Structure 1
Amino acid sequence: MPAYITKQPSCSRAGGRLRRVLAVGVVVLLTAASFGAMVVAAGVIGRPAPRPAASATARLPTDVAVIKPDVVAAFITGRDRQMYRFIFDWLETPTFSCGDLRAVGSESVCFDAPLAPVTTGCLVYSVGVGADWSFERQMAARGCEVHLFDPTAPMPEGAAAAGIRFYPWEVASKSIWIGERLRLTLADIMTELGHTDRRIQFLKVHDDNAAMRLLLDQMTSSKNRFVLDQVDQISIALRLPIYMLQHDLRINMEYDLLETALGRAGEVGIRLVRSTPFDQVRYWFPGVERAVHSSYHLLMVRTGRDTLDRIDRNQKNFRLLQRTWS
């Protein structure tokens, strides 16, 4: 027997066994604890990180939700600031003064010549029924041919008797059947109704999604026929995408395309008559230097000089892609 191993007295053998059993138990417990920790860690790693709590300064005790520019300075370039400034300056700065602006039901209509809806041949398109269709009813009473489009609501009671024609169609950027719902572009709607060679005196688009789709389709894509030059007055309820406020205000394609669309609207002669926000919350955008809204009711008229290059409509904006993958 080696000298460094001491023979245990017989009276302590039971205690030795007990110590060995306890030692094995401790090892088992430690192993189980380690394995459990690994499982928990794997679960934590596998789940998305929890969203950080909103900053105490992100919302003021007023109607302004502030996303301060210094919070996102690391992600916003000078070009981005110019883009946001251009968009909100365009949306909030009227560029045409209508001398004879009248309330017709729920809408404001410019009756300056030659924009005034005339009785003979007056054509009105209205996208989105809503609860108030007094505008459509009054325009029909004036002798206008009124067409109402909404796939989500039934025809308003009394609309047919008022001479209003109703279609459960959705205005989209591509004409296609989705289930039982028919989506049509504005150009295809005009073709379907035999209005290809007619002017639309008033186009009302109060479907939030349709308003953005219409602007981007007509101004930034050449896939569909350009028809906004056949429209005299446009009333749209434009709701800007604000989900990007949760992503550090990084540039996104919708705002990038919206900047292009608004710029080209000016080139086609469209001027802003009235801008009325219809949301209660305001936001700070980098480069804008004032609190702005995310939803606007816009009245626009086509009265300026048309300089839009129709071929240029299909040019893609690669600034986002270049910045994302460079």
Structure 2
Amino acid sequence: MAIRSLSRSRLMRLGLTLTLMCAVQVLLSARRKEKRERVGLPTDVDSPVESVCRPDLRVNVLPPMANNSRTVLRDLFTYITTPHEKTCRKITRFGGQTTWFWDRTAGSDGHKYVCMDPEFDILGTNQCLVYSFGISTDWSFDWDMERFGCSVFAFDPFVREKAGNQNGTIVLYKYAIGSASNADNEVNVKKLGASTRTLDFIVERLGHAHSQIHYMKMDVEYSEYGVLKQQTERMHRSALFKNVQQLGVELHFKEYMPLLDHMDYFQSLYQIFLKMQEMGFYLFLYDPNRLLPPDLEVPGLSQKLYSAIEVVWLKTRCVGQTRESIWHAPPQTA
């Protein structure tokens, strides 16, 4: 009787375990279906999203830096403003708040763009991870990524409000990302006394050293330069290379005008982008911030640019598999 009773107990536990496993699979399938519907993909969740290289992939590459300052600026801003349309074929917008632009037209601000191509597993994974640096008062991107099923870690030393009444899973850390840990030498945070952490420190401290960061957003008001410089100095040892799949950054140039008077900065930025390219990062999106009128005059380009520019890189292993994947944007000369 004891043996029969024990067997019945084990069977009951086994049945409960199988029921829970089935329930989890149903929930995961529903989440994958919702993700696919969100980005307009077929909702057949029995057909997994496979990580593949598209034969039609094209990328715009940054050429080696020229010796002439005007050519450097022309090549740099041509690269920034002309990502190839075939680098990512499925781009989805997350977040954004309605606002008024400088010309009194209405539009969206604070949104970010994510590549949903099958090479990236953000659609198929159940462990989507997002880092969001720079919040201010706009949580719309973080909320959308949370609804999408991602674990969102937000960082901003000056935020005085919590993430609100979403699912309650967004984790906020009140420090800034920077070029050194426990430092206050970044352009804006120095004035307010906020401490900073490097990306490498953050990834290790949060236990994500062996995790994919599917998307990293960085809108940190001029501190982006120091962060990218520190990461590209570490190259393949950096968390940027080892962990980040997609990187969305708002670049700020207003403090570096006129451009020809700040060539040390732009030559250094050029080298940073070359190193990111060597690490496998290629631009797939350019989106100017239209809150202020275009006032950035670039030698050799026909039109003024906006001094705040949103760009997004993706890290791909697929470039160079065919000669046709490499493309050089022609300069938009006057």
Alignment of 1:167-316 (within 5 A): 167-178=173-184, 181-219=194-232, 221-222=233-234, 225-229=237-241, 230-245=243-258, 249-278=260-289, 279-304=292-317
Deviations 1:216-247 (A, max 9, x none): 2222x2499412222111111110254442xx
| Aligned equivalents of 2:274, 2:199: Cα separation in 1 | 20
Change (3 A) 1:198 1:159: farther
Partner of 1:284, secondary structure, is coil
1:27-106 to 2 correspondence within 5 Å?
79-95=68-84, 96-105=86-95, 106=111
On the 8 A contact 1:187/1:224 being kept in 2, the answer is no
| Structure of greater Rg | 1
Bigger mean CA deviation after superposition, 203-212 or 224-233: 224-233
Q: Does 1:110 align with 2:102?
A: no
Equivalent position to 2:139, from 129, 133, 137: 133
Change (3 A) 1:223 1:97: closer
Amino acid at match of 1:142: F
CA gap of 1:170–1:125, structure 2 versus 1, over 3 A, is same
Q: Give the secondary-structure state (helix, strand or coil) at the position aligned to 1:256.
A: helix
Structure 2: which 5+ runs fail to align?
A: 1-65, 96-110, 185-191, 321-334
How far is 1:80 from its partner? 0.6
Task: Give secondary structure in 2 for the equivalent of 1:207.
Answer: coil
Partners of 1:293 and 1:265 in 2: CA distance:
23
| Compared CA separation, residues 260 and 177, structure 1 to 2 (3 A) | closer
Cα contact 1:268–1:306 (8 A) shared by 2: no
Question: Structure 1: how far apart are the matches of 2:67 and 2:312?
Answer: 30
- Give the whole-Å Cα distance in 2 for the aligned partners of 1:160 and 1:204: 19
| Residues 1:305 and 1:217: Cα distance change in structure 2 (over 3 Å) | farther
How far is the alpha carbon of 1:132 from its aligned partner? 2.4
Paired residues of 1:271 and 1:304 also in contact (CA < 8 A): no
Quote the Cα distance in structure 2 between the aligned partners of 1:305 and 1:260.
22
The separation in 2 between residues aligned to 1:94 and 1:304, in whole angstroms, is 17
C-alpha separation between the residues in 1 aligned to 2:247 and 2:299? Answer: 29
Aligned equivalent of 1:120:
126
RMSD (CA atoms): 2.7
Give the length in aligned residue pairs: 228
* Cα offsets for 1:52-99 (capped at 9, x unmatched): xxxxxxxxxxxxxxxxxxxxxxxxx96111210121011101134322
Partner amino acid, structure 1, of 2:173 = Y
1:3-42 alignment, distance < 5 Å: none
Gap change, CA 1:223 and 1:200, over 3 Å in 2: closer
User: What is the CA distance between 1:103 and its match in structure 2?
Assistant: 2.0
1:163 corresponds to 2:169 = yes
Give per-residue Cα distances to partners, 1:165-198, cap 9 Å, x unaligned: 0000110101125497331001111011111111
Does the Cα contact within 8 Å between 2:69 and 2:263 map onto a contact in 1? Answer: no
**Structure 1 spans left out of the alignment, 5+ residues:** 1-76, 308-326
Query: C-alpha separation between the residues in 2 aligned to 1:154 and 1:103?
Result: 26
Q: Do 2:257 and 2:296's aligned partners in 1 also have CA atoms closer than 8 Å?
A: no
| Higher mean C-alpha deviation, range 176-185 or range 230-239 | 176-185
Q: TM-score under structure 1 normalisation? A: 0.63
Rounded Cα–Cα distance in structure 1 between residues aligned with 2:91 and 2:121? 10
Q: Deviations over 1:107-146 (max 9, x none)?
A: 2211111224144221100001133212211211222111
SS in 2 for 1:85: helix
Mapped contact 1:159–1:165 kept (Cα < 8 A): no
Runs of 4+ in 1 over 3 A off after TM superposition: 177-181, 222-225, 241-244, 287-290, 304-307
Residue of structure 1 equivalent to 2:18: none
- Pair 1:251–1:130, CA change in 2 (3 A): closer
Q: How many angstroms apart in 1 are the aligned matches of 2:245 and 2:139?
A: 20
- Give the AA of the match of 1:207: V
